[in-house]
Amino acid sequence: MFFAVYSRLINFSPRFKKLSKYFFYKYLAHSAQMNNWKFMNYGYVFIKDLQEAPQLDPSDEPHRYSIQLYHHLIRAVSLDGHRILDIGCGRGGGLDYLKRYLKAKNVVGLDASEMAMNRCRKAYQAQGLVFIAGDAEALPFSDQRFHAVINVESSHCYADMNKFLLGVKRVLHPGGYFLFADFRDKQHVHLLEEQMERSGMIIIKKFDITDNVITALETSHNQKVAFIQKEAPKYLVRFFKEFAGCRGTRIYNRFKTGKSIYLSYILQKPEGALFP
């Protein structure tokens, strides 16, 4: 009941959606210490192309599915030696993966939560890895600064997707890539693609990864429940299960019934773009 009402409210008012998500993630960063919690995405399982799954150190195995969502997105382009921005980087696990496994040179994480960024600065101290608090809809970077911009499971929180996409295009080099993954209600997918086209970037690849995400949610269900029960305050256990998309939750059921769809896209800023 609560989630159904909330969902109506956020569809009705983008500003309410943005504010409520902002305070929600601020609260999460403040209350949920959980040092070994590195990702907040639903994860991805390679189904047909099993051989694409990355080799991981044993210490990274607990985060395999979330890492694989990043890996699925970025494997199409070479990031080696380039400057990369991850918008809505959360607890920083994706950037840590990029830096350690894919040898990205300068990696910048941006998230609305100042506290999450402070935590990331303490947890990850590699050279060339920087965390900045800021708003995805007002990117604090100069024009044409990045070879690639990554955005994983964050854009559904934003109030103005057009503004966000224009900002992404502005900070990309001509020919640079925007690597995007997130979910939408089925009836809003065409709007997302209109917004992408309007930004002036070109969609070069698109994947419906709902089945890969559902499989990750199902396969990781027991691990997530055990983790939540061990680490989360008792009064928040149910809430965390909803947030994590465990079996039987609202978002899990929406994926299963096709009402929500999880998509990934690779977009490119045109090579000859004269203006940011």
Ligand X SMILES: C[S@@+](CC[C@H](N)C(=O)[O-])C[C@H]1O[C@@H](n2cnc3c(N)ncnc32)[C@H](O)[C@@H]1O
- Scan residues 158-217 and list those touching ligand X (CB under 6 A): 158
Which residue from 153, 166, 199, 255 is in contact with ligand X, where contact means CB under 6 A?
153
Stretch that binds ligand X, among 132-140, 165-173, 188-196, 267-275 (CB under 6 A): 132-140
Residue nearest to ligand X (CB): 90
Q: Could you tell me the CA-to-CA distances from 15 to 5, 11, 87, 135, 147 in Å, in that order?
A: 16, 10, 19, 13, 30
119, 91 in Cβ contact below 8 A?
yes
In the complex, the smallest distance separating the C-beta of residue 185 from ligand X, rounded to whole angstroms, is 17
Stretch that binds ligand X, among 122-130, 154-162, 210-218, 232-240 (CB under 6 A): 154-162
In the complex, the smallest distance separating the C-beta of residue 194 from ligand X, rounded to whole angstroms, is 21
- Scan residues 60-119 and list those touching ligand X (CB under 6 A): 88-90, 93-94, 111-113, 116
Q: Which amino acid belongs to residue 201? A: M
In the complex, the smallest distance separating the C-beta of residue 44 from ligand X, rounded to whole angstroms, is 10
Which residue from 10, 40, 148, 201 is in contact with ligand X, where contact means CB under 6 A?
40
Cα–Cα–Cα angle for 133, 137, 141, nearest 5°? 60
Q: What span, in angstroms and rounded, lies between the C-alpha atoms of 81 and 99?
A: 10
In the complex, the smallest distance separating the C-beta of residue 70 from ligand X, rounded to whole angstroms, is 7
In the complex, the smallest distance separating the C-beta of residue 210 from ligand X, rounded to whole angstroms, is 17
How many binding residues for ligand X (CB under 6 A)?
A: 22
**Which of 177, 185, 161 has the alpha carbon at shortest distance from 265?**
177
222, 238 in Cβ contact below 8 A?
no
**Cβ within 8 Å of residue 114, ≥6 positions away:** 133
Stretch that binds ligand X, among 36-44, 55-63, 76-84, 202-210 (CB under 6 A): 36-44
In the complex, the smallest distance separating the C-beta of residue 274 from ligand X, rounded to whole angstroms, is 28
- Concatenating the DSSP letter of every residue in 138-202 gives S--S-TT-EEEEEEES-GGG-S-HHHHHHHHHHHEEEEEEEEEEEEEEGGGHHHHHHHHHHTT-E
Which residue from 6, 7, 19, 21 is in contact with ligand X, where contact means CB under 6 A?
21
Say if strands 146-152 and 83-87 run parallel, antiparallel, or are unpaired.
Answer: parallel
Stretch that binds ligand X, among 46-54, 133-141, 223-231, 266-274 (CB under 6 A): 133-141
63, 85 in Cβ contact below 8 A?
no
Our finding on whether 41 is near ligand X (CB under 6 A) is yes
107, 128 in Cβ contact below 8 A?
yes
**Which parts of this chain interact with ligand X (CB under 6 A)?**
21, 25, 39-41, 88-90, 93-94, 111-113, 116, 135-137, 152-154, 157-158
